[in-house]
Structure 1
Amino acid sequence: MKPLRQFRPFQLLAKETLSEGGEDGFPVRRFTFELPSDCSLQTLGFDLGLGDFVQVRPPAGRVRSYSPASPVQRTGSFDLVVKIYPGGRCSGHLDSLSVGDQAMISGPAPVPWLAYTLKQQQHVGLIAFGVGITEALPVALSQLAKPFDSVEQVVLLWGNRSWKDVFWQEDLQEMVRQYAGRFKLVYALSREDCEGCVRSRIDQSLLQSTFETFPRSAGFLVVGTKQMKKETRRALAACGFFSPPLLQMKLRMPWNWRRR
């Protein structure tokens, strides 16, 4: 099967609610779409550790981008984890699907001549807002798969409103156990006190305390809205972290499309 450069229909195999959201939050659902039995995201050219994503085209409204939330090696299907917003054209369209229905999807994106590049760092900070964890987690896993002398420590700071917005707890705790000493997970809740979590918004003070052991040359990836990313990068700079973003999109000439 060729890479999904053109939009094509994919059948929905399963639909599951991961989080109902807090009092004023929105539900998060996992949608599992079918691939040929011998096909995986990996064979389609995806590298989630470099921020690759798919695009979903609703019947009306703008195309939206989503990071696949399943291992690239898995054959026969792939997952998208989506927060459902009231009035959201694309998320509402996905939420309206029943098992057996189809969605128009393309990928991997970005296109080869606008591929992301990864800046190698020994200390990696990942800051995810809400459902942005779906993009941050594959990057964390790809970094932790590297030897210790290449990547010494990965810290993931995940911000939500309340514990009801949190999902994948078992998977994340397994990562903490598997990569003990190299991987640190910090939950930040802005509207609720909860054991094992920090009660705070993601601001300069929290960033300073979370990454206090990091050298000033550490690399960071921030996943959230444009405004969240802008404010967080500004707060990181105020903490003394001035390195360029961990993932950067760069123009590549046609003869240099290969990333390795």
Structure 2
Amino acid sequence: MTPYLKFHPGGIADLLLAAGGDCTDLFNEKHPWVNGHSMLEKCYIGQLDPDSVTANSNSESSRFALDKTQWRHFTLAFKQKVSHQTVKFTFELPGTKLLGLETPGQHLKVRAKINGHMVERAFTPTSKFSQSASFDLVVKIYPDGVMSSYLDNVAIGDTVEMLGPQGVLGYPEAGVVTVGGQSKMTNVRHVVMVAAGTGIAPMLQLFRAIMENNKDTTKITLVDCNHSLKHIIALAQLEPLANMFPDRVMVHHVLHEASEDDSTELGSFKTGKRLDKTMLAELLPKASPDVAAFHCGPPAFDEAVGIMLKSIGFKENQIFMF
């Protein structure tokens, strides 16, 4: 399946939503007019017996609130606007259970029946994976966004279905990047992150994993792209880190629209234009073999950044998309 990803007409992101899992609802959402069963009739081998599937161990199911194969309901406890068009949703965790995500790169899926169709979307929590009692999802609300508009209308006390963990990309220990559990880089000394909008969410988890590990001395350079200062989601977390660790952490903000408060609120910033190859080369360290580059944002952004990174010297095995 992997070699086909870049040829998929609908883009890579949609396929990865169902990576390693059941893609029935996702297929029906994207292709409601297509009879997939008749198309695949000649490929049909047999039916999976549900009773033959090995259940999770009792210890694992008792520790974690999420499940990899079963959708579970989580109650919305709180909603807070954190930036322009962006809302933080806080969901309750049952009892003493942890969420069930353990390494940066993992995320969860949310599903809902909207206008008669099952819709699924992937989200990375912004709260610590080890946090108890609750967890947070930060969502940008688009007027025409199917899932974001749905979540914006969920009332406190209502439940939302979620499943996880999902995701093949990981940073399980200091300097190690894995894909599907296989090590791809093992001596990373500098992590580059390029994010747009809510694409900052997985970067925050990677940031946290590096900075909270006393054995990890990896340097970090983040390029965070937003429309304006008021659109920046994690400003209160990012700027203090850059100020506390100036020799280790560099945070650059790229803003399409300038404001008079930029110079007082931000350390390193560029305004009035979108990210391009020249700017990226200026902001990032040289693409030496011990530098890993991560990017996350809307599909068009991810495609453009992947091309830009290669054009300034990063090799394909150094570039990772959340």
Q: TM-score, normalised by structure 2?
A: 0.67
Q: Are residues 1:171 and 2:237 paired? A: yes
User: Are the equivalent residues in 2 in contact too, given 1:35–1:78 (CA < 8 A)?
Assistant: yes
Report the equivalent of 2:73: 9
Q: Which structure exhibits the higher relative contact order, with contacts defined as CA atoms closer than 8 Å and separated by 6 or more residues?
A: 1
Q: Which shifted more, 218-227 or 102-111?
A: 102-111
One of 187, 198, 208 as aligned partner of 2:270: 198
Q: Which amino acid aligns with 1:28?
A: T
Report the equivalent of 2:310: 237
Report the equivalent of 1:225: 298
Report the equivalent of 1:256: none
Q: Which amino acid aligns with 1:126?
A: M
Report the equivalent of 1:34: 92
User: Are the equivalent residues in 2 in contact too, given 1:116–1:248 (CA < 8 A)?
Assistant: no
Identity between Structure 1 and Structure 2 (%) = 25
TM-aligned CA deviation for residue 214 of structure 1:
5.3
One of 247, 252, 273 as aligned partner of 1:181: 247
User: Are the equivalent residues in 2 in contact too, given 1:12–1:100 (CA < 8 A)?
Assistant: yes
Q: Give me the whole-angstrom Cα distance separating, in 1, the residues matched to 2:291 and 2:112.
A: 39
Q: Give me the whole-angstrom Cα distance separating, in 1, the residues matched to 2:125 and 2:181.
A: 16
Please tell me whether Structure 1 or Structure 2 has the larger radius of gyration of its CA atoms: 2
Structure 1's unaligned 5+ residue stretches are: 21-26, 250-260
TM-aligned CA deviation for residue 226 of structure 1:
2.4
Q: Give me the whole-angstrom Cα distance separating, in 2, the residues matched to 1:67 and 1:141.
A: 13
Q: Please give the secondary structure, in 2, of the residue aligned with 1:99.
A: coil
Relative to structure 1, the CA distance from residue 40 to residue 171 in structure 2 (aligned partners, 3 Å threshold; closer, same or farther) is same
Q: Give me the whole-angstrom Cα distance separating, in 2, the residues matched to 1:248 and 1:239.
A: 17
Deviations 1:168-206 (A, max 9, x none): 222112322443311111111012253242113121111
Q: Which amino acid aligns with 2:156?
A: V
TM-aligned CA deviation for residue 151 of structure 1:
4.2
Q: Which shifted more, 189-198 or 103-112?
A: 103-112
Relative to structure 1, the CA distance from residue 89 to residue 183 in structure 2 (aligned partners, 3 Å threshold; closer, same or farther) is same
Q: Give me the whole-angstrom Cα distance separating, in 2, the residues matched to 1:94 and 1:217.
A: 40
Relative to structure 1, the CA distance from residue 4 to residue 158 in structure 2 (aligned partners, 3 Å threshold; closer, same or farther) is same
User: Are the equivalent residues in 1 in contact too, given 2:109–2:123 (CA < 8 A)?
Assistant: yes
Relative to structure 1, the CA distance from residue 248 to residue 228 in structure 2 (aligned partners, 3 Å threshold; closer, same or farther) is closer
Report the equivalent of 1:123: 190
Q: Which amino acid aligns with 1:40?
A: L
User: Are the equivalent residues in 1 in contact too, given 2:189–2:290 (CA < 8 A)?
Assistant: no
Structure 2's unaligned 5+ residue stretches are: 1-61, 170-178
TM-aligned CA deviation for residue 163 of structure 1:
0.7
Report the equivalent of 2:102: 47
One of 201, 205, 213 as aligned partner of 1:134: 201
Q: Which amino acid aligns with 1:17?
A: K
Runs (4+) off by over 4 Å:
245-249
Report the equivalent of 1:253: none
Q: Which amino acid aligns with 2:67?
A: L
Q: Please give the secondary structure, in 2, of the residue aligned with 1:58.
A: strand
Q: Please give the secondary structure, in 2, of the residue aligned with 1:132.
A: helix
Q: Give me the whole-angstrom Cα distance separating, in 2, the residues matched to 1:117 and 1:128.
A: 24
Q: Which shifted more, 186-195 or 126-135?
A: 186-195
One of 127, 130, 133 as aligned partner of 1:76: 133
User: Are the equivalent residues in 1 in contact too, given 2:195–2:296 (CA < 8 A)?
Assistant: yes
Q: Please give the secondary structure, in 2, of the residue aligned with 1:4.
A: coil
Relative to structure 1, the CA distance from residue 201 to residue 141 in structure 2 (aligned partners, 3 Å threshold; closer, same or farther) is same
Over aligned residue pairs, what C-alpha RMSD do you find? Answer: 2.4
User: Are the equivalent residues in 2 in contact too, given 1:8–1:105 (CA < 8 A)?
Assistant: yes
Matched residue count: 237
Q: Give me the whole-angstrom Cα distance separating, in 2, the residues matched to 1:231 and 1:201.
A: 11
Q: Are residues 1:98 and 2:171 paired? A: no
Q: Which shifted more, 204-213 or 116-125?
A: 116-125
User: Are the equivalent residues in 1 in contact too, given 2:295–2:302 (CA < 8 A)?
Assistant: yes
Q: Give me the whole-angstrom Cα distance separating, in 2, the residues matched to 1:158 and 1:39.
A: 33
Q: TM-score, normalised by structure 1?
A: 0.82
Q: Which amino acid aligns with 2:74?
A: F
Q: Please give the secondary structure, in 2, of the residue aligned with 1:208.
A: helix
Report the equivalent of 2:83: 19
